[in-house]
Amino acid sequence: MIVRRMDRGNGASRPHVKLQSVTKIALSTPVRSDKESKRGIQDQPRMHLNSHILIVDDDREIRELTSRFLRRNGYRVNTAASGTEMKRFLDTYKVDLVVLDRVMPGEDGLELCRDLRSRSVIPILMLTLLNAEMDRIVGLEMGADDYLAKPFNPHELLARIRAVLRRANQMPPQSINVPGRFRFLGWTLDRGRRFLQSPAGVSIKLSVVRFFGTVEFLI
């Protein structure tokens, strides 16, 4: 069944209804047997098993279908329908990765991504119906670690989640929030705040992946 979401006030169908429907169909279509699914879980790196993922999306069906798919692949999953719910959950529980919808009512995904990145190093994978190149660039600059356009293949989502978690786990946990600065070739890396300052004095906020990559390069 295709659920059509309506804009408030004028009763017109939102232009992204068809794309949302394609995503829902892909998530709800079984593509592997139970035996194959179990084998896929066993083939995961042990450090990924039982990782805790928070899905933030205002579409109830997307939340439910995505969480069900990820649970079948060995992850612990919780969901939030808004930025307020996301913040409340993160204040209480430890999360290994956030799957964040780009377009939501109220405080949108970009604002939430920027706020979360300013106070946390939790990896963020952003979902969006806006597949423009500039939109992806803005999302990454705001602190997202990866970007996936809707409609998406659930197995591509799974592969991207595994890749982000793998990169995040390449660095020892204690190195994430080590205070201090590292200077090289006129550049300054603030390891506590994850800022990279150019020789001209311009500061760049690094995403988790870029921060880890810079530290690994320097070490």
Measured distance CA(123)–CA(116) in Å, rounded: 10
pLDDT at 165: 92
Question: Does pLDDT of 143 surpass 80?
Answer: yes
Both tokens assigned to 131: 């597949």
Q: Let me know: does 172 contact 178? Beta carbons within 8 Å.
A: no
Q: Let me know: does 77 contact 71? Beta carbons within 8 Å.
A: yes
Q: Let me know: does 165 contact 96? Beta carbons within 8 Å.
A: yes
pTM beyond 0.85, yes or no: no
Apex CA 164: angle with CA 138 and CA 172, to 5°?
115
- The arithmetic mean of pLDDT across residues 34-53, rounded, is 58
Exposed, middle or buried by CB within 10 Å (0-12, 13-18, 19+), for 27? Answer: buried
Q: Alpha carbon 77 to chain centroid distance?
A: 13
In the chain, CATH 3.40.50.2300 covers 17-168
CATH fold label, 17-168? Rossmann fold (3.40.50)
- pLDDT tier at 12 (50, 70, 90 boundaries)? very low
- Higher-scoring residue by pLDDT: 208, 86: 86
Q: Let me know: does 188 contact 197? Beta carbons within 8 Å.
A: yes
For 2, 35, 165, 189, the CA distances from 219, given in Å and listed in that order, are: 52, 43, 21, 12
Question: Does pLDDT of 177 surpass 50?
Answer: no
pLDDT at 21: 56
